[in-house]
Chain A
């Protein structure tokens, strides 16, 4: 099909591109072990001391707690709403069905700054009894808007591949709606939900732009990094935190891709919704 020279050329191009993708990440990892305080290359030696300093840093710890809470909250909201929307769109016909499937995917096409601004304006202008302070809760809701897409995509893809007739059979055999969901629908969706949840978690854990508009005084880890970039003294700790953030976003995604083949497809479309 392709000549031998062509194959080697393609192989070379692929290897180069992979190197282009991974080398910058490697550089960050190396700098995390840097003995010097300043970011000079080549680094003079390796040390683990910044890891200890990062763990002891109260700002980092607080940010980590906020990040974890926000990611868990956003994931929970996304799993519930995303799978409900997916079930409705995939299994029922109703007025406005097309509109829903469009609206859920809309965040993909919108620049993050627009989403952030819209959320910010909404939160700040809620009528009195529903007023919310910008903080953890608004971060969760903000993140949930794009996490929903990821869960929705995963679940819809799975539902398309499984037959509705199984659920009908269950109903024919006398199961009520809850039993059908509990014993038939849910087991089929389990891995898709788990994968979607992992992806949503990773997405929320990384997010910067929407967070800057919804966080108020609270800091997530990425926001902490952003605000400490201009402080040379803090840079060694920033490096450690950066490595930590890379790991915490790549590990869930790795497992998600093992769990369900849908997540690979949802990858490109899903991330565009959030990881800006």
Chain B
């Protein structure tokens, strides 16, 4: 209920000060190269994170659902579930120390003659993929568990090799679950501003919004920019619904 109230307030808020602002905020958003670049970066990284997590989650989820013994399976579910709840901020902080100049990653890569990505877009992508991975694994696991094993056997009996079964049988059936997981990975990346702030010097939509609320006190502009991820999310949800994501949430 509070949510509705909050929303009533937010919208009139843009609308009320709109007396002297009008569509200026949106025009500024559309015309300014800076804000367009920020929007693009946010959406691209959110998409990259989603794909990365889907690729990483599939083998784990498949192992949990179809290969592991029930005991191992329960253990794995808890093992994935626990870090999902562990403090978000602490996880980002951990990566900040790992990625820093004298951090673990550079130390480990040094003998190989390599160095870590440092802070920047790559770091942001890596940390987001890390943060939201459990959100992808759990729905995909639940989705794969619902696929009857007999289908996989049938595919093998009909002469399909492992990879072919994976591509033609498992993947299409798992798609709704992947779409469900992608809602989390995508929307969580879209709305975040703390990770980009801590592991890069680049800005996300959230950073601009936050600075406009806090520092610049330009609430109407913040609200205008905040509608961008909401609109993107609504479109994404509509697409995900077509993929059958809502049944496997």
The residues of A with any CB-CB pair to B shorter than 8 Å are 1-3, 6-7, 9-11, 13-14, 17-18, 20-22, 24-25, 27-28, 31, 39-42, 103, 106-107, 109-115, 117-122, 125, 141, 144-145, 199, 202-203, 205-206, 208-209, 212-213, 222, 225-226, 229, 238, 242, 245-246, 249-250, 253-254, 257, 264-265, 267-269, 271-272, 275-276
Contacts and interface: CB of A to CB of B under 8 A. Distances in A.
Contact of A27 (B78, B98, B149): B98
A117 B85 contact: no
Interface of B: 1-7, 9-10, 13, 56, 59-60, 62-64, 66-67, 76-91, 93-98, 100, 102-104, 107, 130, 133-135, 137-139, 142, 149, 152-153, 156, 162, 181, 183-184, 187-188, 190-194, 198, 206, 209-210, 213, 219, 222-223, 226, 229-230, 233, 237, 249
Nearest to A126: B9
Given A118-B6, A121-B9, A17 B184 contact: no
Contacts of A25: 83, 86, 90-91, 94
Given A226-B89, A276-B192, A13 B60 contact: yes
A31 B152 CA distance: 46
Contacts of A103: 1, 3-4
B67 A7 contact: yes
21 contacts: A3-B162, A14-B64, A21-B134, A25-B83, A25-B91, A39-B102, A106-B3, A111-B188, A111-B191, A112-B191, A113-B191, A113-B192, A118-B3, A118-B6, A206-B86, A222-B87, A225-B90, A229-B93, A229-B96, A257-B77, A276-B191
Given A1-B66, A111-B206, A268 B9 contact: no
A28 B95 CA distance: 9
Contacts of B78: 254, 257
Given A114-B10, A119-B2, A122-B5, 13 more contacts: A11-B63, A13-B63, A21-B130, A21-B134, A111-B233, A113-B209, A117-B10, A121-B219, A122-B9, A141-B2, A206-B85, A267-B138, A276-B192
B89 A109 contact: no
A225 B226 CA distance: 26
Contacts of B86: 25, 206, 246, 249-250
A202 B84 CA distance: 11
Contacts of B1: 103
Contacts of B139: 268
A264 B223 contact: no
B10 A246 contact: no
A272 B81 contact: no
B59 A275 contact: no
A265 B146 CA distance: 14
What 4 pairs across the A-B complex have the smallest Cβ distances?
A111-B191, A118-B6, A13-B59, A24-B94
A50 to B, nearest CB: 15
Contacts of B183: 109
Contact of A41 (B3, B102, B152): B102
B249 A269 contact: yes
A209 B193 CA distance: 9
Contact of B3 (A42, A145, A249): A145
A42 B81 CA distance: 30
A118 B60 contact: no
Given A106-B3, A121-B9, A18 B249 contact: no
A230 B108 CA distance: 25
Nearest to A275: B88
A216 B87 CA distance: 21
Contacts of B249: 269
A271 B80 CA distance: 13
Contacts of B13: 121, 125
Contacts of A203: 85
A6 B130 CA distance: 25
Given A39-B102, A120-B213, A267-B81, A111 B190 contact: yes
Contacts of A202: 85
Contacts of A40: 102
B133 A253 contact: no
Nearest to B93: A242
Given A41-B107, A120-B213, A206-B87, A111 B223 contact: no
Most B-side CB within 10 Å, residue of A22, A106, A206, A213? A206
Contact of B97 (A27, A107, A113): A27
Contact of A122 (B6, B62, B184): B6
B77 A272 contact: no
Contacts of B213: 117, 120, 213
Nearest to B76: A14
Given A27-B94, A208-B89, A267-B81, A117 B66 contact: no
